[in-house]
Amino acid sequence: KAGVTQTPRYLIKTRGQQVTLSCSPISGHRSVSWYQQTPGQGLQFLFEYFSETQRNKGNFPGRFSGRQFSNSRSEMNVSTLELGDSALYLCASNPTGGGNTEAFFGQGTRLTVV
Amino acid sequence: ILNVEQSPQSLHVQEGDSTNFTCSFPSSNFYALHWYRWETAKSPEALFVMTLNGDEKKKGRISATLNTKEGYSYLYIKGSQPEDSATYLCASMDSNYQLIWGAGTKLIIKP
């Protein structure tokens, strides 16, 4: 069974631009969560989508948004990029998003804002 | 405790020695506790998901315990091997199904 796929793997953008990251979950998984990881920090939760609906949202500004399609693939968008948005962005899929099942992570997208 | 805290931040262990580290989490509204191993250049991989107070899980040389009343979990590695070198992350899920992550314990096994 294919794992969680994130594209692109690496991205360099300029301040003020916007960026869209993609995540294809494991087949049959309906929950997709997005995380930001910066050096020295734990994974910071961005949002979770389940069946095309945002179910949970972390404490990030409105510049960070996402959506989920009917095939469970998810995209995350960051507008008006800032230098501090440089990070590894991970997505994780889960059959239902319930707490008693493990999350499966993609390899991440490394975003560098210059 | 309002956040998930892991200690120590990093750990150097001689190959063959056993080791353990701690995850502290809010005990109120607790739903589940997750442990993940994150090797360099790879994706985090789940080790354990625990929900019940007193729960103890084992996978090979790695085991974990859970105390939901006092809000802590221990991860134990017996007879450390070089392939155990990784960052070990724990995350607590509350009744809102949101995972709150610790900053991780970086384990380095010295041959």
Q: What is the mean pLDDT of residues A83-92?
A: 96
Rounded to a whole number, what is the distance in Å from the CA of B111 to chain A's nearest CA? 26
The two structure tokens encoding residue A108:
């991440």
- The C-alpha of A112 sits at a distance from chain B's nearest C-alpha, in angstroms, of 17
- Alpha-carbon distances, residue A50 vs A25, A43, B82, B89 (angstroms): 11, 20, 38, 24
pLDDT of residue B98: 80
How far is residue B95's CA from residue B53's CA, in Å, rounded to a whole number?
15
Provide the token pair at B108: 């380095």
Section A51-61 average pLDDT? 92
Q: Look at residue A1 in the predicted model and tell me its pLDDT.
A: 63
Query: Does the beta-carbon distance from B51 to A33 stay under 8 Å?
Result: no
pLDDT of residue B2: 62
* pLDDT for res B95: 80
Q: What integer best gives the mean pLDDT of chain A?
A: 93
* Secondary-structure breakdown of chain B: helix, strand, coil percentages, each rounded to the nearest 5: 5, 55, 40
Could you report the average pLDDT of every consecutive run of 10 residues in chain B (111 residues)? 86 97 92 95 94 95 97 97 96 85 94 89
Residues of chain A contacting residue B99, judged by C-beta atoms under 8 Å apart: 33, 45, 99, 103
Q: Give the angle B16-B19-B22 at the CA atoms, nearest 5°.
A: 165
The alpha-carbon radius of gyration of chain B (Å, integer) is: 13
Of the candidates A55, A92, A99, the beta carbon closest to that of B93 is on: A99
Q: Tell me what pLDDT residue B10 has.
A: 95
The stretch A24-43 carries a mean pLDDT of 91
Task: Identify which of A77, A80, A55 has the alpha carbon closest to the alpha carbon of residue A66.
Answer: A77
The 3-state DSSP class for residue B39 equals coil
* Strand ranges (E), chain A: 5-7, 10-13, 19-24, 31-37, 44-50, 53-57, 64-68, 74-78, 87-94, 104-105, 109-113
Mapped onto helix, strand or coil, the DSSP state of residue A84 is helix
Which of B33, B93, B97 has the most A C-beta neighbours within 10 Å, making it the best mutation to test the interface with A? Answer: B97
Average pLDDT over residues A32-48: 90
Chain B positions touching A36 (Cβ under 8 A) are none
B25 φ/ψ angles, rounded to the nearest 5 degrees: -145, 160
- Reply yes or no on whether the pLDDT at A9 is more than 70: yes
- The reported pLDDT for the residue numbered A71 is 93
CB B6 within 8 A of CB B74: no
Q: Is the dihedral of CA B58, B46, B105, B101 positive or negative?
A: negative
| pLDDT of the residue at A2 | 76
Interface of B with A in 92-111 (CB under 8 A): 93, 96-104
Residues 52-91 of B with CB under 8 A from A: 89, 91
